[in-house]
């Protein structure tokens, strides 16, 4: 279990991160000041340290140097609300493993921390020497309110796919966007639920106002009320100043609640009351504040099952689910794979300051064979990593991670038998085994029914 020290002067945000990372297997200690942090990393050895770049009582770059002097093997990730290329370059030169700007998503911070935990410092030093002068920071266009990591504006644009599933999704977005209906977005992890929510916001009359995204899974129960509705100075320990909550920040705009099924029953009651009355009170205040907010929610769980189990309020479910949209998986959008890959290639080039033009035929073959359990997020991460490792104008198969290539290794066959023939043979065998029941064959092949139909059409199987 990696041990981690978080150095962050925002106590509420620090505690939120601590709870979130503890649930994901990290042993976490926290410090709200640089002097306290120095006492801790001088007395104990930490695998990882996550520190704010701008601390009220100390310079973050200097603190990075202090950490490296005490223990050069500790991996340090620098975070800040002020995304600047110069600061990133300086932090990398001083030995930081990576740099992440607030607000960030849970997936983003987990990816950075997991990569840091797996990387030896000796490996990272050579990487830093090569790239430190050309570090490029992806500047976020997310709104940075007092809610820090929970208040965001997605900067990704929805890709207009050509597949039947994508066309249906776009039709639903166009249909519901101009209304004020509450929308419940469902789908597998990594399918782009926040991007879809932002597209709905951008197509509405509220597009000139804030789009605030909140990850309900990352908010501790005891801090949720303050995050949603804000608080006044002195209302509880750590409330050193007045703070507006997500509802106020999203006034006249859109509030997107991701993983809404993770809210506690008590928090569900508070949310329902705010939606019914369109009024909120900051913690510690008796003053009611009118709010005009459109609510969009998302989950990768089945909320109807949660309602039946009594863990999610039925009245809240119906209020949130005035219109529902199911985001298709990447396998269900097989025809869009090229569009998504080329879009992510362009983004990776911009972020990493590279000029990679295309993918090799072998890479395209791997992309088409792989099942993409992590959906669009996994595809984007794979392409960004591959572009970073590519020195020429074309991404080669050697730049792809092992987990994407494992399927190819498992499906390696005798000389003269191609991968496409192997896949075609698997489909025919599965169909014969299930007496040509396509639903059962899809389950046997571990693909969706839609994907199986696409494959049958692709290989022109007249069955």
pLDDT (tens digit per residue) in 80-128: 664 454 565 667 777 888 777 666 777 778 888 888 888 765 444 433 3
Residues 298/185, Cβ–Cβ less than 8 Å: yes
**What pLDDT does residue 417 have?**
43
DSSP conformational letter for 322:
S
Q: Are strands 98-101 and 75-80 parallel, antiparallel or unpaired?
A: parallel
pLDDT of residue 140: 31
- The token duo for 121 is 């410092």
- Is residue 29 within 8 Å of 40, Cβ to Cβ? yes
Q: Can 148-326 and 337-458 be said to share one CATH topology? A: no
pLDDT of residue 408: 52
Is 3-134 a domain of CATH 3.90.180.10? no
- Reference 7, options 44, 47, 60, 45; nearest CA is 60
Peptide bond into 403 cis (omega under 30): no
Give the DSSP H/E element, type plus range, for residue 122: helix 121-131
Claim: this prediction has a pTM higher than 0.75:
no
Class of the domain covering 148-326:
alpha beta
Determine the pLDDT at residue 413: 42
The Cβ of residue 322 has, within 10 Å, a number of other Cβ atoms equal to 14
Q: How many CB atoms lie within 10 A of CB 392?
A: 9
Output the pLDDT for position 305. Answer: 92
- What torsion do the CA atoms of 273, 277, 283, 286 make, to the nearest 10 degrees? -130
User: What Rg value do the Cα atoms of the chain yield, rounded?
Assistant: 24
Please name every residue paired with 52 in a beta bridge, in sequence order, or none if there are none: 79
What kind of fold does domain 337-458 have according to CATH? Helicase, Ruva Protein; domain 3 (1.10.8)
- Running DSSP on this structure, what letter comes out for residue 195? H
Q: Quick one: which of 88, 95, 116, 92 has its CA closest to 5?
A: 116
Determine how many CB atoms are found less than 10 A away from the CB of residue 157. 11
Backbone torsion region of residue 69, taken as left when φ is above 0, otherwise alpha when ψ lies between -120 and 50, otherwise beta: alpha
Whether the Cβ atoms of residue 323 and residue 185 lie closer than 8 Å to each other: no
Could you tell me how far CA 193 lies from the centroid of its own chain?
10
Count of C-beta atoms within a 10 Å radius of residue 272:
16
Per domain, the residue ranges of the chain are: 3-134, 148-326, 337-458
Give alpha helix (H) positions in 25-120.
34-43, 60-70, 85-93, 106-118
Consecutive H or E run containing 183: strand 183-186
Buried b (16+ CB within 10 A) or exposed e, 73-83: ebbbbbbbeeb
Strand partners, 7: 31, 51
Q: What is the pLDDT along the chain (463 residues), one digit of tens a residue?
A: 789 999 988 787 788 888 888 888 889 999 988 889 999 999 988 999 998 877 877 888 888 888 988 988 889 998 866 445 456 566 777 788 877 766 677 777 888 888 888 876 544 443 333 333 333 333 333 333 333 333 333 445 788 888 888 999 999 999 999 999 999 999 998 999 999 999 999 999 999 999 999 988 888 888 888 889 988 887 777 767 888 889 999 999 999 999 999 999 999 999 999 999 999 999 888 899 999 999 999 998 889 999 999 999 999 999 999 999 999 999 888 888 999 999 999 999 998 999 999 999 999 989 988 889 899 999 999 999 999 999 999 999 999 998 888 755 444 444 444 456 667 777 887 888 888 888 888 777 767 777 788 788 877 786 6
Cβ(299)–Cβ(184) below 8 Å = yes
């Amino acid at each position: 279990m990696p041990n981690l020290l978080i150095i962050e002067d925002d106590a509420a945000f620090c505690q939120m991160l601590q709870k979130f990372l503890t649930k994901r297997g990290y042993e976490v200690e926290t410090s709200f000041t640089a002097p306290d942090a120095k006492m801790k990393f001088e007395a104990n050895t930490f695998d990882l340290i996550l520190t704010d770049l701008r601390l009220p009582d100390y310079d973050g770059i200097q603190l990075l140097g202090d950490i490296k002097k005490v223990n050069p093997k500790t991996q340090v990730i620098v975070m800040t609300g002020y995304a600047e290329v110069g600061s990133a370059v300086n932090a990398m030169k001083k030995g930081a493993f990576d740099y992440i700007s607030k607000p960030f998503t849970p997936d983003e911070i987990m990816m950075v921390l997991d990569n840091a935990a797996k990387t030896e410092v000796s490996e990272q030093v050579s990487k830093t020497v090569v790239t430190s002068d050309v570090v490029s920071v992806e500047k976020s266009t997310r709104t940075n309110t007092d809610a820090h990591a929970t208040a965001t504006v997605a900067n990704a644009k929805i890709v207009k796919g050509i597949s039947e599933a994508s066309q249906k999704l776009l039709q639903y977005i166009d249909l519901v966007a101009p209304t004020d209906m509450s929308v419940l977005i469902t789908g597998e992890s990594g399918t782009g639920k926040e991007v879809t929510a932002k597209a709905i916001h951008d197509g509405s009359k509220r597009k000139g106002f804030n789009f605030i995204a909140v990850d309900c899974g990352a908010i501790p129960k005891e801090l949720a009320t303050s995050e949603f509705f804000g608080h006044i100075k002195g209302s509880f320990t750590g409330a050193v100043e007045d703070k507006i909550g997500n509802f106020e920040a999203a006034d006249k705009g859109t509030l997107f609640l991701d993983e809404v099924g993770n809210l506690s029953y008590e928090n569900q009651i508070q949310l329902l009351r705010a939606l019914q009355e369109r009024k909120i009170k900051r913690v510690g205040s008796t003053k009611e504040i009118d709010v005009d907010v459109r609510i969009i929610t998302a989950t990768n769980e089945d909320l109807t099952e949660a309602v039946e189990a009594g863990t999610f309020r039925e009245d809240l479910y119906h209020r949130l689910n005035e219109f529902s949209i199911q985001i298709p998986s990447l396998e269900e959008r097989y025809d869009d794979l090229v569009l998504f890959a080329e879009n992510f290639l362009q983004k990776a080039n911009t972020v990493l300051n590279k000029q990679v033009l295309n993918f090799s035929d072998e890479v395209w073959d791997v992309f088409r064979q792989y099942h993409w359990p992590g959906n669009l997020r996994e595809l984007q991460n794979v392409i960004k990593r591959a572009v970073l490792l590519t020195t020429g104008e074309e991404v080669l198969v050697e730049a792809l991670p092992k987990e994407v290539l494992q399927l190819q290794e498992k499906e390696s066959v005798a000389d003269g038998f191609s991968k496409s023939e192997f896949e075609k043979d698997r489909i025919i065998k599965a169909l014969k085994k299930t007496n040509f029941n396509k639903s059962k064959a899809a389950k046997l092949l571990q693909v969706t029914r839609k994907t199986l139909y696409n494959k049958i059409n692709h290989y022109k199987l007249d069955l």
